[in-house]
Structure 1
Amino acid sequence: MASVAEALNLALDHHLSGRLEEARLLYGRILEVDPDNPHALHFAGLLAAQTGAVADGVAMIGKAAALLPLTADIHGNLGKALMALGTPDGAARAAAAFRNLLALQPEGAGDWFALGGALTEAGDGPAAHRALTRALTASAATDSEPLAEAFERAGLRLYAAADWAGATDAFRKARSLAPQRAGAHRMLGAALAQTGDPEGAVAALGEALRLDPTLADAQTNLVHLLVTLGRFDEAERAGRRAVALDPGNPDAYGNMVPLLEQTVRVAEALRQCGRASRIAPERAAFHRNRLSLLLHEGRRDEAVAAGREAIRLAPADADAHLALAVALLASGQLREGWEEFEWRWETRQLDPVHRGFPQPQWTGAEDVAGRTILLYAEQGLGDTLQFVRYAPLLAARGARVIVGCSPALVRLMERVDGVSAAVAWGDELPAFDLHIPMMSLPRAFGTDLDSVPAAVPYLRADPADVAAWRARLPAAEGRPRVGLVWAGSPRTVRGVASPIDRRRSLPLAALAPLAEVPGVRFVSLQMGPGAAQLAEAPAGMDIADPMAGVRDFADTAALASTLDLVITVDTSVCHLAGGLGRPTWTLSRADACWRWLGNQEKNPWYPTMRVFGQDRSGDWSGVVARLRAALTDFVAAHGHVS
């Protein structure tokens, strides 16, 4: 009778020659005689896996690996058999087997490649990425196409896990290994967009489309990125191609909406949003976008309804809640609006200003008497100027009030009634017991339209500064002095002005009709790039520019206090002048900020303010005509023609 070793050699010969049934029977007889023979277990397990009995094969090879733990091939074959199970658990166990293999022979590029594949299927994108990188460095001769595909699959895992940096690196490696893979370029573009690199994303998507012009999703994603970069003509062409490539893709229409909104084609944007919603009525984002467009058109009740539908579809969507908050506040439903507005902290846009204080936040319910409370700025300068009005109310309850704000506001905040101290961000804060962000104060006080704390002035300039600024200005000679601000802060992102700033600002030249009103001495309060337009001020406009001497908002407040009227676009100066109780005329875009309540002429926040709202987005002519008529009446009532 043949020995076990001879029988095993014969069985292996049958196996390698394709006589699989003979091999299976002989392996079985060997294991009947010697059930713990590791070699018979190994080869019989391979045959079982090869012929479809994968689970049996895994069991036998696993037993062989336990008996011969220092045999690398057994661990490798166990990993392959476990991968053949086609389950995440099998892939995780395969990764363990490949790690055992690599502990014995760590330089095998193919083994690192196998580990990377197993980890990808097990859902561990970061570890897969590391393993594939080892495969790449272990051997320059590694077949580039399979490795590129493996990197791409690992990148998809990383992308799904929101590991944008890891995904970007994986897709870059896939692209380098196989530059002809359009999918690698496409996903690299998607990952770069998430890392905040729209230029790189556009380049990658462009290359993907060069390799495969039929990639509809790449074309669709390109639209959004080109809009972000302000390349509107290219975005429009990309959008048309996206619709042509895949007319059933709701995003092909939805991604056109920001483009159309920013180029003030609101009616067309609503139509595109409607198309997207009809294709995918369950997508909350489309209803959220529709809300913004409806506010553009002054259809506030419909905007609120769109916001409620978005939240019904996605109750945890913070952006939807914030959009509904804006619609509610704009329609005057302040109490509910403030509640929804708290969702702003769940969005990414306030991450840079979120303060993780260990002290509790004041909600309005806690007694503040004898306690120190920090009110802190969170968004724009204008928001701080508007909501610091609550400081005297807290002081009246017995609180010691500290304000944390921009350095440009510190001197002015120190003069607000009830404020004990103002601290610039970056400086050391004094001890405090409670804190509250400025824009949560209305919620804490239960503010509605009938209870807006509107006593003005609550901002006060230093009398000595007012006197100094009055002395600096040219003599009024009995004519009213009128301050002018025609542009907001550009807030550029990669050289592109923010959409809201483009809509709220106008060129100084557009105010030329005001120069025709006799008896006015204009004073520029304009800061930033817009001030350069003074070099080409409208003919006949008598305008002084003292802003080079302005150090901060305390100076601007003193300067504004010397004026009879302030005419300004919707920027921080309108809140400053309104808070000072100065006559203020605010020029508001058609899609007005929520606080102007749909451009009602009278505003509950500022009793000395008059709002001049656009009738149509982008058209300031009607506003300027009304301003000219109002200014003529103002001069008649407050001054004389020189």
Structure 2
Amino acid sequence: MLSASMVRTEPSSSATVRRSPIPVFRPPGQPVRTTAPPSAAAQAAAAFRNILALQPDGAGDWFSLGGALTEAGDGPAALRALTRAQNTSAATESEPLAEAFERAGLLLYAAADWTGAADAFRKARSLAPHRAEAHRKLGAALAQAGDPEGAVEALGEALRLDPTLADAQTNLVHLLVTLGRFDAAERAGRRAVALDPGNPDAYGNMVPLLEQTVRVAEALRQCGRATRLAPDRAAFHRNRLSLLLHEGRRDEAVAAGREAIRLAPADAETHLALAVALLASGQFREGWEEFEWRWETRQLDPVHRSFAQPEWTGAEDVAGRTVLLYAEQGLGDTLQFVRYAPLLAARGARVLVGCSPALVRLMERADGVSAAIAWGGDLPPFDLHIPMMSLPRAFATDLGSIPAPVPYLHADPADVALWRDRLPEDGRLRVGLVWAGSPRTVRGVASPIDRRRSLPLAALAPLADVPGVRFVSLQMGPGAAQLAEAPAGMDIADPMAGVRDFADTAALAETLDLVITVDTSVCHLAGGLGRPVWTLSRADACWRWLGNREDSPWYPTMRVFGQDRSGDWSGVVARLRAALTDFVAARGHAP
């Protein structure tokens, strides 16, 4: 049986690091077991190859070769042989061939060849469309291949043919949650429990649904049921870690993570989950070590590390050498961790930054940076490299040694002057607003974290009553469309059509008295510029806000306004309105 740790995860960027509980995705079935010794199966395959060399059109022989290769454990070759049998004019009977494709597909699935497995199961389904199992196995393979819509369709057909397939119902819950179809997911989840009340996954896969719909207490109860049924399943302890973080119970979350690692010491997702809990609780030294496991997960592309040059670990002398710092996750992460460039420069290094094209002009002016290069293009010569988010580990950063002198980011003074001309003074304080993050997608699925960190512009309507303020939109992306229905009385200038990149946004931010933003890249930009910035943070805060403490050791000019309850921004906005009123009065701009 394939490992129960075979799961689907969220999510990227730094938000993908702080993830929701992880549902267990049930494998499609038991891999085939070789009934003959491998040598005998290999000998049989060799014999059929000899026959086919003389009679290449023998469908039965291709079928037999596929069976022998399956017995020998060679899934890719078995799939090729069976496909040849299917395509031969004198095709074999469809039912046995369908079963053979399923067997080959299970081998490919066990080898994590999701595309090959899906191809095999798809062929089985075409030959025997009445077989519910063929549809179910195809759904499992498509889910792992990153096609949730196709997986839902296949599992739905499997359940139409056989409504008693508990595994299909359980898998369907997870897929519907990732697609944001919560009502359908809940119906599927209740059916899964009714079909197989002794299946721990039926309860475990309800956990992400309940967290996404802000029912954390119930999610913890379901997680408890799953854990009682399968106490040795690390995934369930990892789920509990995430839920405990959601409730601010960071010490308990760390304990849950340690138990998960005891059960699955080599599981990268579990180590990364523990890293998040450690960092959120301020245990940085151990947290950075665990955070290195991110490279072993499916979140990051390991090709980033495929350089001929060695990685800098913090110990090597960098004097007179060129060090490449490169972006690995979101824009905000680059803006936050480029703060380490001056520390490298102080050791005598020449620092290059590889980053998103949208950041190049700004990075060129960052402290300690000699040059910036758009990531994905040709790189100039360098001696050492290090990914941005490994820098705290290399510098042995703990809670008391975060390098936080600001500003370390700088706008071009000429650009600042241009933006001042575009937004002339009128006696009021100018306050920048960002109310929505980027609805990024991973494998075609929108990030649920973005839904939780964003709020509608209309929710900020109480700020319109604060006198002496002119609001300036810094909102990019789909969220900007909400300006067409801005709250009554909220005077919002929208200069973003003239913004080309983050260098322009930085120059615009320099003309503002205050930036109010949700937890997205703009809060790191404003913080790195040393501008007053108020960050609105969801209840299950990103690890870097340390449980939504009001100040931030990363940014001296930042104030964090954290939710009391997930999904409820009313308390945050009420506190925001009071703080903004005081801010205006302190600046002497109240009428």
Which aligned pairs between 1:56-455 and structure 2 lie closer than 5 A? 86-351=36-301, 354-455=304-405
Q: Which residue of 1 aligns with 2:418?
A: 468
Instruction: Return the offset for 1:378.
Output: 0.8
Change (3 A) 1:521 1:85: closer
Matched position secondary structure for 2:441: coil
Matched position secondary structure for 1:514: helix
CA distance in 1, matches of 2:82, 2:500: 56
Write the deviation string for residues 162-206 of structure 1: whole angstroms up to 9, x where unpaired: 222222222122112221111111111111112211111111111
Q: Which has the higher contact order (CA 8 A, sep 6+)?
A: 2
Instruction: Return the offset for 1:608.
Output: 0.8
Change (3 A) 1:160 1:421: same
Change (3 A) 1:591 1:85: closer
CA distance in 1, matches of 2:86, 2:563: 60
The residue type paired with residue 512 of structure 1 is A
CA distance in 2, matches of 1:509, 1:339: 42
Matched position secondary structure for 2:446: coil
Judge conservation of contact 1:353–1:378 (CA < 8 Å) in 2. no
Matching residue within 482, 503, 515 for 1:566: 515
Q: Which residue of 2 aligns with 1:520?
A: 469
Judge conservation of contact 1:481–1:520 (CA < 8 Å) in 2. yes
CA distance in 2, matches of 1:116, 1:427: 44
Q: Which residue of 1 aligns with 2:440?
A: 491
CA distance in 2, matches of 1:84, 1:579: 60
Judge conservation of contact 2:147–2:444 (CA < 8 Å) in 1. no
Q: Please, what TM-score do these two structures have when normalized by structure 2?
A: 0.92
Q: Which residue of 1 aligns with 2:483?
A: 534
Identity of aligned residues (%): 89
Instruction: Return the offset for 1:239.
Output: 0.8
CA distance in 1, matches of 2:153, 2:289: 42
Judge conservation of contact 1:519–1:639 (CA < 8 Å) in 2. no
CA distance in 2, matches of 1:136, 1:153: 15
Q: Which residue of 2 aligns with 1:627?
A: 576
Change (3 A) 1:599 1:541: same
CA distance in 2, matches of 1:401, 1:248: 57
The residue type paired with residue 335 of structure 2 is L
The residue type paired with residue 602 of structure 1 is D
CA distance in 2, matches of 1:435, 1:525: 33
Q: Please, what TM-score do these two structures have when normalized by structure 1?
A: 0.85
Matched position secondary structure for 2:337: helix
Which aligned pairs between 1:558-637 and structure 2 lie closer than 5 A? 558-637=507-586
Instruction: Return the offset for 1:494.
Output: 7.3
Judge conservation of contact 1:587–1:611 (CA < 8 Å) in 2. yes
Instruction: Return the offset for 1:94.
Output: 2.1
Judge conservation of contact 1:587–1:623 (CA < 8 Å) in 2. yes
Which protein has the larger Cα radius of gyration, Structure 1 or Structure 2?
Answer: 1
Judge conservation of contact 1:229–1:494 (CA < 8 Å) in 2. no
Q: Which residue of 1 aligns with 2:4?
A: none
Matched position secondary structure for 2:438: coil
Where in structure 2 are there 5+ consecutive unaligned residues? 1-32
The residue type paired with residue 481 of structure 1 is R
Write the deviation string for residues 547-570 of structure 1: whole angstroms up to 9, x where unpaired: 111111111111111111111110
Matched position secondary structure for 1:601: coil
The structure with the greater share of residues assigned to helix is 1
Instruction: Return the offset for 1:101.
Output: 3.0
CA distance in 1, matches of 2:326, 2:49: 52
Judge conservation of contact 1:295–1:303 (CA < 8 Å) in 2. yes
CA distance in 1, matches of 2:443, 2:251: 36
Matching residue within 500, 507, 511 for 1:551: 500
Alpha-carbon RMSD across the aligned residues, in angstroms, is: 1.6
The residue type paired with residue 477 of structure 2 is G
CA distance in 1, matches of 2:490, 2:129: 61
CA distance in 2, matches of 1:353, 1:524: 37
CA distance in 1, matches of 2:328, 2:219: 31
Judge conservation of contact 2:63–2:92 (CA < 8 Å) in 1. no
Judge conservation of contact 1:483–1:565 (CA < 8 Å) in 2. yes
CA distance in 2, matches of 1:84, 1:129: 16
Judge conservation of contact 2:295–2:302 (CA < 8 Å) in 1. no
Instruction: Return the offset for 1:641.
Output: 3.0
Instruction: Return the offset for 1:475.
Output: 2.2
Write the deviation string for residues 97-146 of structure 1: whole angstroms up to 9, x where unpaired: 32333334333222222222122112111222122222222244522111
Write the deviation string for residues 554-589 of structure 1: whole angstroms up to 9, x where unpaired: 111111111111111101110111111111111000
Instruction: Return the offset for 1:226.
Output: 1.3
Residues matched between the structures, number: 559
Judge conservation of contact 1:188–1:204 (CA < 8 Å) in 2. yes
Instruction: Return the offset for 1:355.
Output: 3.5
Instruction: Return the offset for 1:628.
Output: 0.7
CA distance in 2, matches of 1:495, 1:99: 42
CA distance in 2, matches of 1:203, 1:167: 17
CA distance in 1, matches of 2:541, 2:486: 27
CA distance in 1, matches of 2:137, 2:37: 25
Instruction: Return the offset for 1:428.
Output: 2.2
